[in-house]
Chain A
Amino acid sequence: DTGVSQDPRHKITKRGQNVTFRCDPISEHNRLYWYRQTLGQGPEFLTYFQNEAQLEKSRLLSDRFSAERPKGSFSTLEIQRTEQGDSAMYLCASSSAGSDTQYFGPGTRLTVL
C-alpha cells in the first residue's frame, strides 16, 4: 500500500499527558498537511510543510501543539498537556509539488479522558 499512513490509529490518554502522532506521506510527495476533525464537522487545517519547512500554521495550533518534518519525509504532531477539547480525529494528507490534490490518511483518533 503506497498511500498515506498514520500511526497510531487510536490513542486514549488522560488529561495532562503528552501524545505524539506520526504520518508517513506518499513517497515523493513534498507537501504534508495536518488537519483536525471533530465529530460532525469537516476537517480543519492545522499546518503544512513543504519538504522540511513549516510554511503555515493555523490559529487552531496553540502553543501546546508542535509539528515537525525533520528530513522532509515523515512528520510528527505532538500535543503537550492534553485537554478534553483536544479529542478529535487528526488527519494527515500529502500532495506532490505543483498539485492541488491532497491524499488523506486514515487518521488518528485521539480520546482525552
Chain B
Amino acid sequence: QVHLVESGGTVVQPGRSLRLSCAASGFTFKNYGMHWVRQAPGKALEWVAAISYDGSDTYYADSVKGRFTFSRDNSENTLYLQLNSLRTEDTALYYCAKQAQAFAQAGWSHLDFWGQGTLLTVSS
C-alpha cells in the first residue's frame, strides 16, 4: 500500500528558509518520478516541482524557480524540498505526489497517489 507522509511545515518569517520532507513507502520508490503540489488556503492546486526517478533532473514552476530546490534520496525513500527566500505567497499546504508510470519523464504521467500534505505558513 502506497504511503506518502510529508513533514517539516511550520510558521516562518518572510525571507527565511525551510526544508520539507516526504517519506515514501509501499512501492519501488527509485523507479518513479515525484512531484510537489501546493494549495494555498481556500485556493486551487498549484504545481510546484517535479523530479526524475533517479534525481538527475528537476523542474520547477516559474513562481518558485531559483528559490526552491527539489531532491531525493533513493536509499532512504525520501524527498526533500528546500525552500529559500520565502514569501507570504508561499503559504500553502504542500503535497508530495507520485507519478503513475515508472520511468516516465517528469510531468508526462498523471499522479496516482498523494500524501496528506504539510502546512507552511510564511508570516511576520
Asked if A and B bind, the verdict is: no
Chain B positions within 8 Å of A, measured between CB atoms, are none
